[in-house]
């Protein structure tokens, strides 16, 4: 039986959540029970705004999550900061783009945390 594929997907403005995501990937890989892919949510803020916020540079070695990734994964682990209990706009924007996957039931049976 093939090992399931888990996508660890994060959004991190200052690098803290990125650090946690990398540790989760490290832990999952150490079990040899699953295939692991690391992805990040697409950035929606202009670079000028990120610079003024003193945001950490984007890690270009980590691909952005795509709708095709969502279809191919068996499970997901999402990590992102919250502000007053809300997800960042970058995360909301991506999840809003998955309407077609929902309509086609492409995410049915996939685990998420």
Domains of the chain with CATH codes: 5-112 (3.40.50.360)
* Residue 1: both structure tokens together: 């039986």
Helix or strand (DSSP H, E) at 102: helix 99-103
Strand (E) positions, 1-113?
Answer: 5-10, 35-40, 75-79, 111-112
pLDDT of residue 47: 95
Using only C-alpha atoms, the chain has a radius of gyration, in whole angstroms, of 15
pLDDT of residue 36: 98
Residues in the chain predicted with pLDDT less than 50, given as ranges, are: none
pLDDT of residue 91: 98
Q: Mean pLDDT, the chain, as a whole number?
A: 97
pLDDT of residue 4: 97
pTM of the model: 0.94
pLDDT of residue 1: 76
pLDDT of residue 106: 97
């Amino acid at each position: 039986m093939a090992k399931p594929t888990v996508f660890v997907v994060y959004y991190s403005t200052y690098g803290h959540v990125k650090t946690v995501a990398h540790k989760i990937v490290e832990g999952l890989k150490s079990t040899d029970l699953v295939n692991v892919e690391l992805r990040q949510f697409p950035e929606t803020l202009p670079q000028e705004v990120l610079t003024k916020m003193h945001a950490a540079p984007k890690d270009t070695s980590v691909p952005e999550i795509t709708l095709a990734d969502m279809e191919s994964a068996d499970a997901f682990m999402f990590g992102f900061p919250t502000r007053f209990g809300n997800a960042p706009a970058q995360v909301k924007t991506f999840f809003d783009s998955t309407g077609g996957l929902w309509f086609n039931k492409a995410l049915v049976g996939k685990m998420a945390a």
